[in-house]
Amino acid sequence: MANKRILPLLIGIALAGRLQAQDSTLLNMLNDSMSTHKGKTYIRGTFKAEHIINAQTVESPANGNLNFVIQHRFGQLNSGAYNFFGLDNATLRLGLDYGITDDLSVGVGRSSYLKTFDGYLKYKLLKQTEGPQMPFTVDLLGTITNYTQNDIGKPYLNAKYRTAYSGELLIARKLSSSLSLQVTPTYVHYNLVPTVADKNDVFALGLGGRMKITRRMSINAEYDIVPKNQVVSTTVHNSLSLGWDIETGGHVFQLVFSNSQSMLATQYLTQTTGTWGKGDIYFGFNISRNFNLKKSNNKKTAL
């Protein structure tokens, strides 16, 4: 009788062990499958606005979002009390940016500096992810500008000769929740230059960064390097700009100090003639307001 009771017990223990082994194998297979198909987690908020100060960032409007930008620069601080230290004069750019998709955006603008119209296309080539998969965000930016200010005594300056183009590769990385850096190799082509000694094709390198100081405030800096012997007829200095960003809900407000009056790459790279040391500083601000024209899709993102 004892043998008859022990035998079923041994068979039950064996079957239980086999089922447990099968369950463990199935669980391991499920975990492997989940790891293999795990979605990428993209980093967001590398910068809080579409401009570091003058230069564009890797940020762009989401699909169906419209961004309205006001960029304002007063006159030079060293212009004296008569001009109220530059506050009597102003340069203004109004811009509209629209997200065609989450990766492709288009923008148009009008600046009072040389009465310039501009347009651009921006495409996101790569997105920074958590972990080692993709350490950078990379955008490709193409811009066209056309200035319309009358040049007395130069009737040959038609629309073709007033047009310039720029191509920029925006390479950025969010190093931490507080620090983001961007490098921007830039190519600019001018259909017409002042003298035969000046280059129609100009190469430059932009450097920029953002340091977060509070939950809604950051300090920004931007420096553009233009190698010598490209612009000869005019003494050009590298553009240096500092800014203070304040985020207020749907608005981003930036206080700006720069030795560049223009806010377009085809102009500030080769037309910055003032220096910080002499007080040739333009104080101003950028304001951007985002409008969501479509229902947004929820996607995996990480701060």
State pLDDT tens for residues 172-208: 999 999 999 999 999 999 999 999 999 999 999 999 9
19 and 131 co-located in one domain: no
Segment 232-270, tens digit of pLDDT: 999 999 999 999 999 887 788 999 999 999 999 999 999
CATH number of the structural domain spanning residue 274: 2.40.160.40
Strand partners, 122: 105, 141
> pTM (2 decimals)?
0.82
* Residues 141, 1 within the same domain: no
Residue 300 falls inside a structural domain? no
Same domain, yes or no, for 12 and 122? no
Tokens 């169906």 belong to 64
E-state strands within 18-174: 42-43, 65-76, 90-99, 104-111, 116-126, 137-147, 163-174
Are the beta carbons of 107 and 96 closer than 8 angstroms? yes
Whether residue 302 lies inside any domain: the answer is no
Q: Do residues 110 and 257 both lie within one domain?
A: yes
Of 22-26, 162-166, 232-236, where does mean pLDDT reach its minimum? 22-26
The answer to whether residues 21 and 156 belong to one domain is no
If asked whether residues 2 and 68 sit together in one domain, one would say no
92 class by beta-carbon count within 10 Å (0-12 exposed, 13-18 middle, 19+ buried): middle
Domain of residue 25 covers 1-37
Compute CA 284 distance to the chain's CA centroid, rounded to the nearest angstrom: 19
- Helix (H) or strand (E) run with residue 12 in it: helix 2-36
206 in the same domain as 128: yes
CB 255 within 8 A of CB 242: no
Clarify whether residues 93 and 13 are in a common domain. no
In terms of domains, do 129 and 269 share one? Answer: yes
Residue type, 112: S
Cα–Cα distances in angstroms (integers) from residue 277 to residues 237, 259, 280, in the given order:
11, 10, 8
Q: Tokens in use for 122?
A: 């921006």
Confidence class for position 82, pLDDT limits 50, 70, 90: confident
Cβ neighbour number for residue 282 with a 10 Å cutoff: 24
Give me 27's structure tokens.
Answer: 């669980």
